[in-house]
Structure 1
Amino acid sequence: MAEAGRADLHLHTRLSDGWPTPAEVVERAAELGLDVIAITDHDTIEGALEARAYVGRRRTPKVIIGEEVSSRDGHIVGLFLEKGVRPGLSAQATVRAIHNQGGLAIAVHPFWDPAKPGRVGTAHGVGWLAAELEFDAIEVENSTPGFYLYNQMAHRLAFDSGRPQVGGSDAHILSAIGKAHTVFAGRTALALERALEAGKTRAARERYEAQALLEYAAWGWDFRRKRRLAQATGQ
């Protein structure tokens, strides 16, 4: 039996709304012994490309080119991308655009702030569309503090729909990396891709240390401050 590998499939850098640089994410993942990581900045693959270039020929971690795409119906992570996916499409069109370039579409945090009929504004999760559309996997473990109930709902949805289950930290700070991750047979990005396609992945989660929770609270305060400033200046 192949040795079990660990992958964090949901990571952010300062190329979108994370604090660390792509290089810092790679170094932290290496310290933790993660075999594969996916940089999934919001609506850009630049952070992933930068991380892959930084890794170079080192053995681990392997970097998957990813993107967390802002569809009209909620956020969708595309993995194994060759180019960026345009935001603002429907969830169905976004999944199709990911598949058209040979990528895999992941319904991340589907029950966090999902779209509702008649709603105007940003939706973060695709909700029940995670079971209705051709998603390749559902994120059932997201280590963002306070997501326990959302994760439990995602677990049930994945179980009932028979979709592969994955874990991703959704890390915006270094100390969150790997707190939720995906376990698969093998140690390479190709092995992970095959495990996802075969539905043979498992989601896992680890507890936060108190200091990490304080750091996440600081990131949240900084994120809200920047958002209010952007709204005030019309950016």
Structure 2
Amino acid sequence: MSALSRVTPHHVAAALLALGVVGGSLADTHPPTEPERRGDYLVLRADFHAHTRFSDGFLSPLELPLVARREGLQALAVTEHNLVFPSQLARSWSELVGGPIVLTGAEITTRRYHLIAVGIERTVAWDQPLAAVIADIHAQGGVAIAAHPARAFWDEYAPVMDELDGAEVMHPIAYRGESPNGWRWEDMVAFWRRANAAKGRPVAAIGSSDYHFFKALGTMHTYVFAKEATAEGVLDALRDGRTVVYDLDGNALSAHPELIELLRAEPFRDDLKPRAYAAEGALDAVARTLGWLGLAGLLLLRRRRAPRPAGA
């Protein structure tokens, strides 16, 4: 039997859908936004906490950088739960299509704490002491950021407070006041202040959307003051705490007050309105047609599939 004879209508429909997605991604040419210079730094708008459909997110690693580009982000950390390879897929794709800087990473997720690892290439084992987790992240050249450090996580973080590179101070929980599990935004800010007091060098203030679905990627974001617009430039800025985050009342949080003054003298131009898919031309038309045909074919074939006999 030849390989061609084994091709089924399902294979054809799936291939059409895949071609539509890839072609549409290549045709979506929304122009990227450029970093703005303030003093000696390039200021990048970044989101360091975003998930994909490899766990509990909605978008694929290919779609996420495109949405980030539409939302005006210049840097994005893809941080899947206890997995690194989705972020590596996103990085390769973003480089191919001219998307934002994608930093590889993962959210180390346990019942005792959540920790964002940015700049790693190998999955960090979650079932080891937190000190060993942070040591592994640093050994890979990455940075360790306390994810939504609610009071329930404080006891676990206490022995390693001076090993953290950053902590989330803005998170969607800020809009809810208090989550059903007792997480409060004010506790996150208090944790960051305690971490700065405990450490001999600045701890980066981080604003993140913790993107899964329904809320706009980059709504909560971080202004990163980098010496160069590269992944390593962003990581260096995080290690040195060169970030600024604004809270709901417009108050600036930063381990470096002089950076706040730079933005106060010349505010960053922000446009948080969601941007639409921006593609046109022959490639876009063909991609849309193939994608819709593939999706319709899969749905029709699913409905026509005969039920399995009882006991099969």
> What code does the residue aligned with 1:136 have?
D
Alignment partner of 1:40 is 2:82: no
In structure 2, what is the equivalent of residue 153 of structure 1?
A: 187
Structure 1 residues 165-174 or 77-86, which shifts more?
A: 165-174
Structure 1 residues 62, 27: closer, same or farther in 2, change over 3 A? same
| Aligned counterparts of 1:195 and 1:87: Cα–Cα separation in 2 | 26
Alignment partner of 1:141 is 2:170: yes
Q: Greater Rg, structure 1 or structure 2?
A: 2
Alignment partner of 1:95 is 2:134: yes
Structure 1 residues 41, 168: closer, same or farther in 2, change over 3 A? same
Q: Residue 196 of structure 1: which of 212, 225, 238 is its match?
A: 238
- Is this contact kept in 1: 2:116–2:146, CA < 8 A? yes
Aligned length: 197
Unaligned runs of 5+ in 2: 1-38, 197-202, 250-271, 274-312
Instruction: Give the 3-state SS of the residue equivalent to 1:73 in structure 2.
Output: coil
Structure 1 residues 46, 64: closer, same or farther in 2, change over 3 A? same
Structural mapping, 1:44-123, within 5 Å: 44-71=83-110, 73-111=112-150, 114=152
| Aligned counterparts of 1:161 and 1:199: Cα–Cα separation in 2 | 12
- Is this contact kept in 2: 1:15–1:46, CA < 8 A? no
> What code does the residue aligned with 2:101 have?
K
Instruction: Give the 3-state SS of the residue equivalent to 2:81 in structure 1.
Output: coil
Q: CA deviation at 1:82?
A: 1.5
Q: CA deviation at 1:174?
A: 6.0
Structure 1 residues 102, 15: closer, same or farther in 2, change over 3 A? same
- Is this contact kept in 2: 1:28–1:174, CA < 8 A? no
Instruction: Give the 3-state SS of the residue equivalent to 1:180 in structure 2.
Output: coil
Instruction: Give the 3-state SS of the residue equivalent to 1:4 in structure 2.
Output: strand
| Aligned counterparts of 1:160 and 1:104: Cα–Cα separation in 2 | 18
> What code does the residue aligned with 1:182 have?
T
- Is this contact kept in 1: 2:113–2:156, CA < 8 A? no
Q: CA deviation at 1:160?
A: 3.0
- Is this contact kept in 2: 1:166–1:181, CA < 8 A? yes
Q: If the length of structure 1 is used for normalisation, what is the TM-score?
A: 0.75
Q: If the length of structure 2 is used for normalisation, what is the TM-score?
A: 0.58
In structure 2, what is the equivalent of residue 168 of structure 1?
A: 208
| Aligned counterparts of 2:101 and 2:149: Cα–Cα separation in 1 | 26
- Is this contact kept in 1: 2:168–2:206, CA < 8 A? yes
Cα deviation code 1:55-84 (max 9, x no counterpart)? 124444111001011246311111100211
- Identity in percent: 29
| Higher RCO (CA-CA < 8 Å; seq separation 6+) | 2
> What code does the residue aligned with 2:134 have?
V
Structure 1 residues 26, 101: closer, same or farther in 2, change over 3 A? same
Alignment partner of 1:127 is 2:154: yes
Structure 1 residues 147, 166: closer, same or farther in 2, change over 3 A? farther
Indicate the structure with greater strand content: 1
Q: CA deviation at 1:9?
A: 0.1
Structure 1 residues 1-10 or 34-43, which shifts more?
A: 1-10
The runs of 4+ residues in structure 1 deviating greater than 4 Å are 205-209
> What code does the residue aligned with 1:196 have?
L
- Is this contact kept in 2: 1:77–1:108, CA < 8 A? yes
